[in-house]
Structure 1
Amino acid sequence: MLSEMDKATRMHLPSWASQGIVDMKEVASNLLFEYFAKKLISYDETKTSKKLKENYNDAFLDGLISFPLHIPGTAYHACLQGQKNAIKVIRDIFEKRKASDANQGDYLDHLLEELKKEKTILNEKMAIDLLFLLLFAAYESTSTKEHEEIINKRDKKDVEITWQEYKSMTFTHMVINETVRLANIVPAVFRRAAKDVEGKKLHVGSKTFMAFGGGIRVCVGADFAKLQVAIILHYLVSNYK
């Protein structure tokens, strides 16, 4: 996955450079959404008239944090319509794949295999809702010197980031953690413990950083989200001034 994310980032960067001024949050979110949509359901926005990304971005996300007034013209109404339209696109893909029984090597293949099992707790509605939520999570989830040192240590400059290089980005990880602490996609996430908590093998201080939660409820996408941001930052600060 590290290699694939690296390639996707390097492929998108030239198009950003040609735009003059870009909104980094927007272009990075688009990159991640396109990458994740292919990994989950083999979806390619350029090859279909059904615009999945538009329903997430232009409707669902814009009204996600809004007053729950469900009447036409409100952000909340648009949010629900965006969700409805996005789920319809996902359901159509789901039904076509189920009927064709074709194997695309994506996450949807695993869901369909799971649905065939007799004792599965999964049903089709749950599977479609899960795909919707995973795509939502994908859409919404530095020091220059540090990245220059990584490049200078390589025998060849134009190669993919290795796992060792990623783990060596100490300052970059600090930047990512601080960014998440200040601006998290989920406004209701508790970022610190209200008071010190003592357990058998656990101590959680009142100032403990908990942007991704902790324990058995820690966000399953925490490391993946940090990896995405680190790769984008690496190519951004090492290729552009």
Structure 2
Amino acid sequence: MAMAVLSAAVVVLITIILALFLRKWRKLGNDVKGLPKGSVGLPWVGETMEFMSYFSTSDPEPFVNNRVAKYGKVFKSHLFGKPTIISADAEFNKFVMQNDKRLFNMGYPTSFAEILGTYDMLMVNGELHKKMRGYAMTFLTSKKLQDYLLNDIDSYVLLALSTWKGRVVNVQDEAKAYTFRVVAKQLISFGPGEESDSLMKEYYQLFDGIFSLPLKIPGSTYAKAVQARGRILKRLTQVIDSRKSLEKDDHKDLLATVFSTEMRPEDRMSNEQIMDYFLGLLSAGHVSTATAVLFAIAFLTDSPKALNQLREENLAIKRNQKGERLSWEAYKNSMPFTLDVIYETLRLTNVSHGLYRTAIEDIQYQGYTIPKGWTVLAYARAVHLDGDIYEDPFAFNPWRWKTMSPTMNNFMVFGGGPRQCAGYELAKLEIAMFLHHLVTKFSWKPVEQDKMVYFPTVRMIKGLPIVVEDLINAAD
């Protein structure tokens, strides 16, 4: 009898504790005056599973759209283990980007840091971030793009396209290979071939785990990603040690810039920092560009009018220049519609759904309070697909950019403020050069219907298979 009473008491106690916990969880942040309305979802899990489930479909919009309709463009949630303010408001997002390093630090999910590394550029703040960005900006000057990288990229485009004629091409795989080979060459001087391709395979296993739940269960996506990270770091260690042993390093890559004797000793990074830095750059430097190449081809396939105008612009360049290579002058001065296609592709694709930041202190803005330590997700998709900013926002319409300019108010593809992507000019050059050679050499047709999904990255389910043939009388 006593045991039964004791057991019942324990059950009642546990029930009371859980009820109190649930009540406290649901009221998370409610004592903060001005906290945006919203829901924090289930205990511990928050709304993460629902968020991820929408991104695993071809229509991720309802997660944010439903909440915007209920709570407004700025609302609270709980994602990836952190209380989060999600903003679908362009002005709010601009405020966040402009106040990077002053009011906000980086705030990406824990899985990012554990997979990409503590010293990845997405994770670091302050002087270390400034130093890392400085290395990239030193390497990616306009002069280096013009004098060195242009011809290098051109060669990689021609190499990629050399096998396309007369076969079924999986555009997604080919775009990944092209952009990864370019970035591996520019960062650590890996040439095209088995070494580069082997490293790329490890990267895509690693990348699949970035937005997964950080559970190190054997065989899970996250566990496989952590293992891939270890193998990549082992290879990078070999490269770094080998290069450090050289009496004179004649390479023209970013690693040479980092090792340059012109850098002050206090500006140099530790081996651990260098490895995380390059691991992150190898990922960031090609994933977005590969996705843009893929979807530019997908959108152009469905828009004959845009494809014809793009082809006419690039055939005119080809007729007016000597040789097969695209000149810097032509890229800068004769490709306005090509750049419009690139901007529109990036706007619609939304390779990164948003920017994650953490409030350094309690912040007041537009009547809202952002509590110290909370994550802010500046949700880029909502801005890029906002009908108040873009007419018919889900339509592929590169002509809209004739009267619009990609500013921080409406175009968050490359971020903004002090953390704007250092490689955005290189990315545009890679995409423009690929499209130039593709549309002036080939025509193509889709093999079968395909569709977009968004998790763990934006991609086509079947990889966009196409059949490629020579473009008849292309140079006439």
Interval containing the TM-score (normalised by the shorter chain): 0.7 to 0.9
Matched ranges for 1:63-74 at <5 A: 63-74=209-220
- For the residues of structure 1 that align with 2:197 and 2:172, how far apart are their CA atoms? 24
Look up the match of 1:166: 331
The answer as to 2:384 corresponding to 1:237 is no
Say if 1:160 and 1:76 are closer, same or farther in 2 by CA, change over 3 A: same
Query: Which 10-residue stretch deviates more, 100-109 or 70-79?
Result: 100-109
The answer as to 2:422 corresponding to 1:214 is no
Superimposed CA distance per residue, residues 174-225 of structure 1 (whole angstroms, 9 cap, x where no aligned partner): 11112111223322244349999xxxxxxx9896222112232211111111
Look up the match of 2:222: 76
3-state SS, counterpart of residue 17 of structure 1 = coil
Unaligned runs of 5+ residues in structure 1 are 197-203
Look up the match of 1:199: none
- For the residues of structure 2 that align with 1:104 and 1:206, how far apart are their CA atoms? 39
Aligned AA (2:222): Y
Give the CA deviation at 1:9. 0.9
Larger relative contact order (C-alpha < 8 A, sep ≥ 6)?
Answer: 2
Say if 1:13 and 1:237 are closer, same or farther in 2 by CA, change over 3 A: same
Give the CA deviation at 1:114. 6.0
Say if 2:352 and 2:413, in contact at 8 Å, map to a contact too: no
Look up the match of 2:353: 187
TM-score (norm 1): 0.83
The answer as to 2:164 corresponding to 1:16 is yes
Matched ranges for 1:1-241 at <5 A: 1-17=149-165, 20-44=167-191, 46=193, 48=195, 51-57=198-204, 59-105=205-251, 106-113=253-260, 117-120=264-267, 122-141=269-288, 142=307, 143-154=310-321, 156=322, 158-167=323-332, 168-189=334-355, 190-191=379-380, 192=383, 208-241=410-443
Look up the match of 1:200: none
Give the CA deviation at 1:30. 0.9
- For the residues of structure 1 that align with 2:174 and 2:269, how far apart are their CA atoms? 34
Aligned AA (1:209): F
- For the residues of structure 1 that align with 2:184 and 2:408, how far apart are their CA atoms? 38
- For the residues of structure 2 that align with 1:117 and 1:50, how far apart are their CA atoms? 35
Aligned AA (1:164): E
Give the CA deviation at 1:109. 2.2
Say if 1:70 and 1:76, in contact at 8 Å, map to a contact too: yes
Structure with bigger helix share is 1
Give the CA deviation at 1:153. 2.4
How many residues matched?
A: 230
Superimposed CA distance per residue, residues 5-45 of structure 1 (whole angstroms, 9 cap, x where no aligned partner): 11221122112336x12222321221121122122212246
Say if 2:184 and 2:196, in contact at 8 Å, map to a contact too: no
Say if 1:226 and 1:12 are closer, same or farther in 2 by CA, change over 3 A: same
Aligned AA (1:237): V
Look up the match of 1:201: none
Give the CA deviation at 1:47. 6.2
- Root-mean-square deviation over aligned CA pairs: 2.9
Say if 1:64 and 1:122 are closer, same or farther in 2 by CA, change over 3 A: same
Superimposed CA distance per residue, residues 132-185 of structure 1 (whole angstroms, 9 cap, x where no aligned partner): 11111222025211111212223x3x3311122213211221111121112233
Look up the match of 2:84: none
Structure with greater Cα Rg: 2
Structure with bigger strand share is 2
